[in-house]
């Protein structure tokens, strides 16, 4: 299986992504779907950050004027993920407020029931 046994970190990241995907597919509760989406987010961040990690190297904070690049890990994935984490929480907030609005309208969190109710409502016309 190639480098699978060495790449356990990336494998875990993508397993997390798959768990989130399965949660999105198999649950019909909106809050569950949001949890799944957050797990997918975390999987992607873990994947990006583990791509930049190198053994026996330090975090990219210069100590004592030592600017030799072979002493530091890759700083680019960290800077990408840092903004991504904060943006993901705002996306979660927007989706939660949408869920709150849907709940106030239909008094349920189940997407199937919401779909059925909206269909019945449109056929009542």
Partner 1 sequence: MTPELTEAIKISLLVLLIVAAVAASVMKKLVPALIVFTSFSLIMALVWILLESPDLAITEAAVGAGVSGVLFYMALRRMGQMKKSFIEKDGADGSEKGENDENDRPDENGEDGEHDEDQR
Partner 2 sequence: MKIRDNIKKWLAYDYDLDSAPVMPDPVEPDVEAPDISFWRSLRRRGAHRALYYVAAVICSIILASTLILTVSGMPRYGEDAEFMDTVTYEYLAHGMEYTGAVNIVSGIILEYRAFDTLGESFVLFCAVTCVLVLLRIDDGKDDVSLPCHDLTGDVILSRTMRALIPFIFIFGIYVLLNGHLSPGGGFSGGAVLGAGIILLSSAYGEQTSGKFVTERTFRIVTTSALLFYCIGKSYTFYTGANGLHSFIGNGTPGNILSAGLILPLNVAVGLVVACTMYGIYRMFKERRF
Q: Which residues are at the interface with partner 1 (CB under 8 A)?
A: 8-9, 12, 15-16, 19-20, 22-23, 26-29, 31-32, 34-36, 38-39, 42, 45-46, 49-50, 53, 55-59, 73, 78, 81-82, 85-86, 89, 92-93, 96-97, 99-100, 103-104, 109-113, 115-116, 119-120, 123
Q: How far apart are CA 96 and CA 30, in angstroms?
A: 9
Please name the residue that has the structure tokens 């949001």: 34
Read off the tokens for 87: 């943006």
Q: How far apart are CA 26 and CA 107, in angstroms?
A: 21
Min CB(15)–partner 2 separation in Å:
7
Q: How far apart are CA 94 and CA 110, in angstroms?
A: 18
Read off the tokens for 42: 């975390």
Contact 81, 48 (CB under 8 A): yes
Residue 56, sorted as left (phi over 0), alpha (psi -120 to 50) or beta, turns out to be left
Measured from the CB atom, the residue of 1 and 86 that comes closer to partner 1 is 86
87 binds, among partner 2, partner 1, none (CB under 5 to 8 A by kind): partner 2
15 sits near partner 2 (criterion: CB under 8 A)? yes
User: Residue 72 pairs with which residues in a beta bridge?
Assistant: 58
Contact set with partner 2 (CB under 8 A): 1-4, 6-11, 14-15, 17-18, 21-22, 25-26, 50-55, 59-62, 65, 67-70, 72, 74-76, 78-79, 82-83, 85-87, 89-91, 93-94, 96-98, 100-101, 104-107, 117, 120-121, 124-125
């Amino acid at each position: 299986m190639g480098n699978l046994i060495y790449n356990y970190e990336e494998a875990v990241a993508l397993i997390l992504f798959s768990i989130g995907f399965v949660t999105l597919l198999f649950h019909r509760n909106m809050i569950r779907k949001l949890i799944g989406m957050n797990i997918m987010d975390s999987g992607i961040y873990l994947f990006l950050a583990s791509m930049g990690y190198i053994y026996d190297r330090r975090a990219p904070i210069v100590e004592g004027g030592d600017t030799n690049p072979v002493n530091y890990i890759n700083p680019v994935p960290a800077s990408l993920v840092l903004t991504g984490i904060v943006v993901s929480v705002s996306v979660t907030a927007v989706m939660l407020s949408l869920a709150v609005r849907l709940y106030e309208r239909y008094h349920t969190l189940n997407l199937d029931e919401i779909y059925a109710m909206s269909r019945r409502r449109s056929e009542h016309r």
